[in-house]
């Protein structure tokens, strides 16, 4: 019995160690690629403090590492949505949280959008029915909190499109991240919340 327990403990320790190494490589990649989007795997391995052979065990090629970062973007975008949607929040409050949240994720992973052909939210472009944002849009429209003349799928697509456009404004220097987050929130509220007066103004 003790042999089995020891084996289980050893397996858990090995898995934990592997997870720490993987997380260290991911964190190093975010740091170094933010300043040098073309940094090599050798540079990323050196920055991570993880042996290069271990880095390649987790990420056989640079593209495997980039894909892991893109998956992380999608995960964090979903986290922004689930954090914004609380049981007592109005639709306007959800959009007020979504705007800045979308910009924060875009700011952290801006280096990915600098890559030719990169679309970091690609896995969200064809959402499943249980995608958190699409589910909330559908339910909020059914509660008449959102406009009922716009299909939830359309609102979902427009939110992602506007989010990318807002991050582009920050990328080219026309808006600060704070300005873009607030303007995106204002745009979403005015576009989608039911019964809004067009003359209403957002929070200062």
Q: What pLDDT shows up at residue 4? A: 58
Average pLDDT, the chain: 87
Q: What pLDDT shows up at residue 17? A: 86
10 pLDDT higher than 80: yes
8 pLDDT higher than 90: no
CB 188 within 8 A of CB 146: no
- Residues of the chain with pLDDT > 90, as a percent, come to 67
Cα–Cα distance measured from residue 99 to residue 95, given in angstroms and rounded to the nearest whole number = 6
CB 83 within 8 A of CB 132: no
CB 152 within 8 A of CB 137: yes
**Mean pLDDT computed over 90-119:** 84
**134 CB contacts (<8 Å, ≥6 apart)?**
127, 152, 153, 156
CA-based nearest residue to 92, from 204, 187, 199 = 187
Q: What pLDDT shows up at residue 111? A: 85
**How far are the Cα atoms of 10, 14, 127, 145 from residue 4, in angstroms, in the given order?**
10, 15, 43, 56
Cα–Cα distance measured from residue 187 to residue 126, given in angstroms and rounded to the nearest whole number = 23
**pTM for this one?**
0.78
**Mean pLDDT computed over 10-38:** 91
Per-residue pLDDT band for 13 (boundaries 50, 70, 90) equals confident
Out of 61-75, 111-125, 147-161, pick the least confident: 111-125
Q: What pLDDT shows up at residue 128? A: 81
Greater confidence (164 vs 123) lies with 164
Out of 9-13, 32-36, 157-161, pick the least confident: 9-13
Helices (H), the chain: 2-35, 41-48, 52-58, 62-84, 91-108, 110-113, 132-142, 152-171, 177-192
125 pLDDT higher than 90: no
Which residues partner with 193 through β-bridges?
Answer: 146
196 pLDDT higher than 50: yes
Q: What pLDDT shows up at residue 174? A: 96
């Amino acid at each position: 019995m003790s042999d089995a327990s020891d084996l289980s403990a050893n397996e858990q320790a090995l898995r934990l160690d592997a997870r720490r190494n993987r997380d260290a490589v991911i964190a190093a990649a975010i740091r170094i690629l933010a300043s040098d989007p073309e940094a090599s795997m050798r540079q990323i391995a050196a920055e991570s403090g993880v042996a290069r052979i271990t880095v390649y065990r987790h990420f056989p090629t640079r593209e495997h590492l980039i894909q892991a970062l893109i998956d992380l973007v999608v995960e964090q975008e979903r986290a922004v949505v689930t954090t914004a949607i609380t049981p007592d929040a109005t639709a306007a409050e959800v959009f007020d949280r979504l705007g800045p949240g979308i910009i924060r994720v875009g700011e952290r992973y801006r280096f990915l959008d600098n890559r030719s052909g990169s679309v970091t939210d690609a896995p969200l472009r064809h959402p499943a029915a249980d995608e958190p944002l699409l589910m909330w849009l559908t339910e909020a429209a059914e509660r008449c909190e959102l406009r009922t003349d716009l299909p939830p799928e359309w609102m979902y697509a427009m939110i992602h499109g506007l989010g990318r456009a807002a991050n582009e404004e920050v990328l080219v220097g026309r808006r600060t991240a704070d300005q873009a987050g607030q303007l995106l929130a204002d745009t979403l509220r005015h576009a989608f919340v039911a019964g809004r007066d067009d003359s209403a103004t957002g929070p200062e």
